Amino acid sequence: MSAGVLLVSVDAGVATLRLNRPERRNALNPELRARLAGALAELDRDEAVRVAVLTGSGKAFCAGVDLKDQTAPTGHELAGGTEPVSAALARFRKPVIAAINGPAVGGGLELALAADLRVAGPHATFALTEARIGSMPGAGGTQRLPLLVGRAVAMKMLLTGRAIDAQEALRTGLVSDVVADLDAEAHALAGEIARCAPLSLIAIKQAVQSGAPGQALTAGLALERGLWALLAETEDRAEGRAAFREGRAPRFTAR
């Protein structure tokens, strides 16, 4: 198992990727994003790997982009080709299970949305809070969430930033299972998948992603990234980030 901000191990065809910044609720800083994207590319080439499990260390799955990290990409950098790590996850040819052990917030939920299956622990929560800080989801949240839970539930989550708990996520179809022993159950599911024919797994995933909703998703993702980049340059976005860092309510001016 590798050390650092991302722990990676492979056993019996199952690769486990564990986000490992528990002191920051596994928030995504540039190092973690780069390591996760690199690990996915490497594991995709590894013929011994049949399926991947993505989870978090400690009490959180992922708190999204680390807003206290001053090296986060700007909107112009994203528009210029910075690839969201959730896109690297979606491109991964083999099945991915997100084992959501705690809060999945913002970009953290978008990571889970890019997986093929989502299994939650009893203390998992789910939220897209970007509107509260003058931004919007920019890594698939506005496109993938409605496909999973329906427009009404998705719009309520997106426009209010409210969180839902594991049981509501199960009722809406955001997750397939809520289990007490998350690590054991997720890896048992991964082992069951890994015993299937590897080319069949790849073909099934490709076929599902190439369906009609997936074709519309491509255009939607491009529009979402463009709008995210525009919002990232606004005064309200800067104010939202400053208010978050300073622990106060933001004062938005629609500029």
70 close to 32: Cβ distance less than 8 angstroms: no
DSSP, residue by residue, 151-179: HHHHHHHHHH---EEHHHHHHHTS-SEE-
H helices of the chain, in order, are 30-45, 75-79, 85-91, 107-114, 141-149, 151-160, 166-172, 182-194, 198-209, 212-232, 235-246
Gyration radius (Cα) of the chain, Å: 17
Q: Which residues pair with 28 in a beta bridge?
A: 65
**155's tokens:** 């719009």
Cβ–Cβ contacts within 10 Å for residue 144, how many? 25
From the list 59, 39, 131, the residue with the least C-alpha distance to 102 is 59
Q: Which residues are catalytic?
A: 110, 130
